[in-house]
Each structure stands twice: as structure tokens, then as C-alpha cells.
Structure 1
Amino acid sequence: MHLSLAVLSKKAIEASLQLKWKEAIELNNTILKEYPNNTDAKIRLGRAYMQEKDFTKAKRIFKEVLKSDPINALALKNLELAKNGKSDCPIGSSSHLNTKSLLKEPGTTYETKVPIKTKSLHINDFQSGEELLIKIRKKSIDIYKIKKGKKVLVGEIIDSYIVQRLVYSTNKGEKINVSFVRGKDKDIWVLIKASAPIFKPDKLDIRPYLKKGTIEEPEMEM
């Protein structure tokens, strides 16, 4: 049965988390057959090839990404690693990256943009899944990263809805994690993840009627 992009993406991420690189390659290739311009799937595919030591295919994938997005920080960084015959997260190595933190769950996760304030920071200083530090204030949330052993201010979130939700959750004793997702120019996107549902789930756009007298059956996911 046909699976949606969201389901396939989740399966591809989970395969990587379980170090099932061949399965991750297959799933991301499946996504790209249906969605050939999906950059996230290409990045995941390239990194899976790197873990399988197939650096030739990895380089080809990252070069494809850079044709349409010449300043994609993840593609640039991973292409350089692939050229040197290295993978960014060798099995068994210690790392501050947490790829599992990028899994989105209704009610507990929220993605938002954060403009980079510190001039010395650039998007290529971040890695996908990197955990960031936060300081919750009454009207804003400061985002920090560790660079060369020092805590550096990245920027702040001033969206009142997000601030209110995080203030509420911390008062309730809930745990909050923030992870880097992607970046472009002087902006980064982060995924906020709470230990309990605090956000409104995304609304589904359901339009059952195609035309008078016919009903569109919703796609089933397995």
C-alpha cells in the first residue's frame, strides 16, 4: 500500500537510528522516486552511503543537492567528508548529536525559525540533530550552542505562542529539548521537543468532496 512522505521519512530516520544503513538507503531511494527534489531524503541517503563506505555514491548525491542549493551547509560539509573518505558519525564514537530528536510527534514537537544574531556563527557551525541550549524568559527564549567549549548565543525566539507554551511546560516540570534541523543564510530552523504534549497538533486539510456526488476516500497509512 502507498505510504505518505511523512511515514516514509519517519521510517528512514528510524532505520538510521538503528544503524540499518541498507534499509535507510532503500527507504530514501523510495522517497526520491516519488519526490525527486526532496533535499532531506538526499542528505539522509548520502550520509547512509557514507556509513556503508560507498563514498562515490555519497559524493554524487551531495553534488546533486548543491546544484539546486549551492550553500546547503549539510551538503557542503558531508561532501568534504566523503571526499576524504570519512563519515561524520562513525559507529561507536561519542557524539553530541541526537538524530532521534528530529522525529516529529503531534503535540510534543514544534519547528520554528531562529535568526542568527552572533556574527561569528554561521550555519556550517551546526550539525543536523545537534542539541542546543535554551534559557526561557518571560517574553523570549534564548538559544545557545557550545562552540570551542564556550556557550555562544545563537538567537532568540519571540513568538508569544511558543514562549507561553514553554513557560507553562517548565512550570509543570516538563523536559524541553531543542535541536538544530537545517539552516539557510543567517537563519536556522530548530525543533522544540517536550516530554509531554504542550502544542496544538497540526490541522489536517481534509477536503472529502471532489465534485458533486463523489467522495474522496482518505489515504490509509500502514
Structure 2
Amino acid sequence: MSAHDNDKFNIRQLAEASSAYHHQMASSAYPEHGEWASFAYPNNGQNIDKSTTLLLYFWPMSDPLPSNLHQAAIQAALNSHWETAIKINKEILKVDPQSIDALNRLAKAYFETGNYTLAKKYYSATLKYDPYNPIAAKNLKILKATKADGKQLLPTTSGKISSSLFLQEPGKTKVVNLLKVAEPQKLSQVYPGMQVNMVVKNRGVTVATLSGGYLGVLPDDVSHHILRLTKGGNKYEIFIKAVKVNGLIVLIKEVFRSKRFHNQPSFLDSSQRGSNIDMLSATKIDDLADEDSDDSEELEEAEI
């Protein structure tokens, strides 16, 4: 089965075809992956290519199964499963050594696990095949410049998110679903707790990474409200609350209120009064269905 055919392969159908015997055998061999490991041992002698088998070994059983390795790599990054992302992207590169997406993903995963030497290696490899790749060029420049300055880089998602960051204050904070969101590759660059920018324009407010990468726009009613308040002197910060493949939720926080609006709260959403965001749900991808800092320390992560 070719890598292309594997992209079309329905892993879940294979899972349903697995026998109890093979399930037991695989679960014993790979207990940390439970039932997912049994997919590597299909019933009736059905064959699977090596990349699919390895994916099934690596994939956490608590997560929905992807349909192919590239999608698996994206999901692993979105869920901050960096060790899994490293393994999957390496398998992709064995089949397609010049895959720009996989090289950038692998560099990003190594950065997140603190291996900056390998992060630089794979960003450099990207530039070997695509000399003008903006993600690799920018991140490699930041890595080299930071080392030269003697500053210590920290993985962007390694630490716990402070609960105070998502504390909602009546009249001062608002949770918003962005519209016209960027493609999944771009969304996988951000994470809960990450500060982003509001780019104020005449007719609306765009949300972007601190390095300028487009993420989405605020709804018109929120945009017009923010525009009026910022023109009057108010100041706001915005943070990523939660991320999924095709959606992004942000928290807008008032950090300064001008004298002009001294007695006027920024937001009047009654559903937010006196409530605190549950930090666990704020970082879970599945919950979405129901619902400027130092640039040298923050890479624009690889396109996933």
C-alpha cells in the first residue's frame, strides 16, 4: 500500500475488523496504548503498511483516531503531544524526506521539548528545500539571535497556565469565538494562555500572533464596540482560551479604562458575571463544540 493509498485508508474500518485474539495480543505488547494497538494486528491477515502500524502504536487511545499520518501530526501538535508528533513526523520524512510541512512540524516539536539543536537542524533542512519558507526562516533567525544574546528559550507550552489568567471579571472580560479563522495549520501554532494581538482597523478588529500571523476576526458587534472604546482611550489585552482544528476562542481583558468611560464597563454579557473559567475545560479541545511580550521567547511555530 502506497503512502497515497494510506491517506485514503479507513483506520476505523480496520479497527472494527480486528479480532479479540489480536486485540489481546497487541494490548499485551503495547499496554500503554490499550485498544488502539490492536489495530496493528488486523483479522484475516490483512496487511497494513509500516507507517500506519507505527501510527497505531504511537497514538494515545484517549484521542480520536486520525485518517492519515499528516492529520495525525496536526492533531498531536494541537493536543501538545510533542513526543508523539516527533515520532509521526519522522515516519512521514522516511517516506517523503522533502516534506516541508513535516520538517517544520518536527522542528516545532523539538523546540517544544527543549531540543533547540534539533529544532535548528530541521528548520535549516526546510530552507534547504524551500529557501524562502517564511516559517523556517523566521524561527531559525530567532533561535540563532536568541542564542547569541545569551537568553534562554523556553518551550511555549511546557508550563502550567496560571488560573488567574482566565479569571473573568464582570464588566472587564469577554470570551469570544473568532470568525473567519485561519486554516488548521495556522491554528495549530497557538495554545491556551498565549497572548495575541488585536489589530484595530477602520471597519473591524483582526486577531493575530505577536509576530503578525493572521488568526481570525472578532464578530462585527464586538469589533465595533472595541473600536469605540479604544478610540476613547481604553486598552485591552487578548489571550487564546481554547483551540481546535477549525475554531478559536479568545479572552478579551480590559487593562485600562479611560476617564471618559469611568462609569461604563467594557462588557455587559450577563452570562459572564461572577463566573470563573474552568481551567481544565479551557484547555480541552473537545469542549469547544459546546461552547505585546518578548518576541524572542516566542517562536512563530511551524505550520502543521
Q: TM-score, normalised by structure 1?
A: 0.47
The structure with more helix, counted as a fraction of residues: 2
Which structure has the larger Rg?
Answer: 2
Q: TM-score, normalised by structure 2?
A: 0.36
